[in-house]
């Protein structure tokens, strides 16, 4: 999830929770206010009733007329029941109706004196009062229609406002965060366009005083320093490899002449031949490093061209054959290849030649019969090349590190090599978005499998 979405979602959730809590507090506060207000009206009605009982000479006779005359609709659907000390009903405002009450409520009044039941319909306010030396149980019930309708309306308004506000909060949070982080997205876009060959292109600094501007200036400073380091390294690699080629070529020429023109003992001739092979190997390694120093993963695709893989194989064989005259290959095209196979891939021919030169050199050095079998199969989506050679296989525990730099297996004892050949092969194939794997397909048979994709979106 992007930083923009994380910030927007976090702010929206925070404001939603805070706003929801405030709405809930408002609702609870109004609900308590309605309850207290209605209870106060109950209490005023109770005081009025107690005052009447205290002043009345004959309460039971005067009560019906009194309550009829003073029915001022203070409480809607009001019902009053009055009991004497023996909890016997002595008056009820209910007429022509069967009167019923809760005996447990009267019993509770003995200890609690006053009881208010809010959750019933209608609401009940009960009290025990001593009037003129006698106990009276007074039960008053009524409906707070106005208060309840106001509470319901408030609930509707709060819920509606909450959901509308939540939608607005989420929308404006994302909009504002997107607007605030726009300079950061611009910075990220500029940084993504920077390559090894374009380190000196500075990113835009929208505002040098805020954190993003400071970050942009720091990044420009860092890329400038990295460019200096990379350029120095690249110049050194290129210069060193180029300068080494001339003396190596001269040494190889002199050794060839020395071997051919002089009459040497077998031991001397063997030593000179080994020296010549070492010079050839060092020259090839230098050539490989010189070519690799000219490319990187981002720039190499710009020089890709159509390359026939069979031509690359034969060109690489010619190079290896000059150094190993007895080396030979058996080239085959698999019968399972598609009918219109043209064995063409996108790549750099010189680098691909280095790949097969190194593989063929390994076969020439480590095979028992000085031969490599090449089998190529083309499918609709890829070209698969298998390189077989008979000889000592690589130990199981060494195969995971086979393509590491300076890795030499236990089967390479008493054989020349730098341990960089397969590492260079791996790197070149990575540039071409290709894969290479090693396996021992049979007893004393080494197999390298190369898979080139014919259609890559990166090309």
Per-residue pLDDT of 361-420, as tens digits, reads 888 888 888 899 999 999 888 899 999 998 888 877 777 778 776 556 555 555 555 567
- Domain of 42 in residue numbering reads as 3-150
- In the predicted model, residues of the chain with pLDDT beneath 50 are 73, 457-459
Of 102, 133, 150, the residue at which a domain comes to its end is 150
Of 178, 212, 247, the residue at which a domain comes to its end is 247
424, 310: one domain: yes
Looking at residue 381, its pLDDT comes to 85
CB within 8 A of 440, min separation 6: which ones?
Answer: 393, 394, 446, 447
Looking at residue 160, its pLDDT comes to 93
Q: In a 3-state reduction of DSSP, which class is residue 58? A: coil
241, 327: one domain: no
CATH code of the domain containing 58 = 3.30.450.20
Looking at residue 156, its pLDDT comes to 93
Structural domain includes residue 323 = yes
Looking at residue 335, its pLDDT comes to 79
Q: In a 3-state reduction of DSSP, which class is residue 388? A: strand
138, 194: one domain: no
Number of separate domains in the chain: 3
301, 349: one domain: yes
Looking at residue 154, its pLDDT comes to 93
Looking at residue 459, its pLDDT comes to 44
192, 331: one domain: no
Structural domain includes residue 353 = yes
d(CA 208, CA 204): 10
107, 230: one domain: no
d(CA 55, CA 50): 9
135, 196: one domain: no
84, 224: one domain: no
d(CA 382, CA 346): 11
CATH code of the domain containing 336 = 3.30.565.10
Decide: 64 and 79 in contact? Cβ < 8 Å: no
312, 425: one domain: yes
């Amino acid at each position: 999830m992007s930083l923009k979405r994380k910030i927007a979602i976090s702010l929206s959730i925070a404001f939603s929770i805070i706003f929801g809590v405030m709405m809930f507090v408002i609702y609870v506060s109004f609900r308590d206010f309605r309850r207290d207000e209605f209870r106060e009206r109950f209490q005023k009605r109770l005081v009025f009733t107690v005052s009447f009982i205290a002043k009345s000479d004959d309460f039971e006779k005067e009560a019906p007329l009194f309550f009829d005359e003073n029915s001022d609709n203070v409480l809607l659907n009001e019902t009053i029941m009055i009991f004497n000390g023996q909890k016997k009903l002595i008056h009820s405002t209910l007429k022509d109706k069967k009167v019923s009450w809760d005996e447990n409520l009267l019993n509770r009044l003995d200890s609690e004196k006053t009881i208010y039941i809010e959750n019933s319909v209608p609401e009940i306010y009960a009290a025990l009062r001593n009037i003129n030396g006698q106990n009276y149980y007074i039960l008053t019930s009524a409906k707070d229609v106005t208060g309840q309708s106001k509470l319901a309306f408030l609930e509707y308004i709060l819920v509606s406002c909450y959901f509308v506000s939540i939608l607005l909060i989420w929308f404006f949070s994302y909009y504002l965060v997107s607007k605030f982080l726009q300079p950061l997205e611009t910075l990220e876009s500029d940084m993504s366009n920077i390559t090894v060959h374009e380190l000196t292109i500075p990113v835009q600094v929208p505002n040098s005083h805020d954190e993003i501007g400071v970050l942009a200036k720091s990044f420009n400073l860092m890329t400038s320093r990295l460019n200096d380091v990379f350029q120095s390294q690249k110049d050194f690699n290129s210069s060193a490899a180029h300068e080494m080629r001339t003396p190596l070529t001269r040494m190889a020429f002199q050794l060839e002449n020395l071997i051919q023109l002089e009459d040497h003992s077998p031991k001397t001739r063997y030593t000179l031949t080994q020296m010549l092979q070492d010079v050839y190997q060092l020259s090839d390694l230098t050539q490989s490093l010189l070519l690799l120093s000219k490319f990187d993963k981002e720039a190499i695709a710009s020089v890709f061209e159509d390359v026939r893989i069979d031509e690359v194989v034969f060109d690489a064989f010619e190079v290896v054959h000059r150094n190993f005259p007895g080396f030979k290959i058996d080239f085959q095209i698999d019968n399972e290849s598609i009918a219109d196979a043209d064995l063409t891939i996108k790549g750099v021919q010189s680098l691909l030649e280095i790949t097969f030169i190194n593989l063929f050199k390994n076969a020439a050095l480590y095979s028992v019969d000085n031969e490599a079998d090449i089998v190529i199969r083309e499918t609709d989506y890829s070209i698969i090349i298998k390189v077989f050679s008979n000889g000592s296989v690589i130990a199981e525990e060494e195969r995971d590190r086979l393509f590491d730099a300076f890795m030499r297996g236990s089967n390479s004892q008493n054989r020349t090599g730098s341990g960089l050949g397969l590492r260079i092969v791996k790197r070149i194939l990575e540039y071409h978005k290709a894969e290479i794997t090693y396996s021992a397909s049979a007893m004393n048979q080494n197999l390298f499998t190369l898979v080139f994709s014919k259609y890559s979106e990166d090309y």
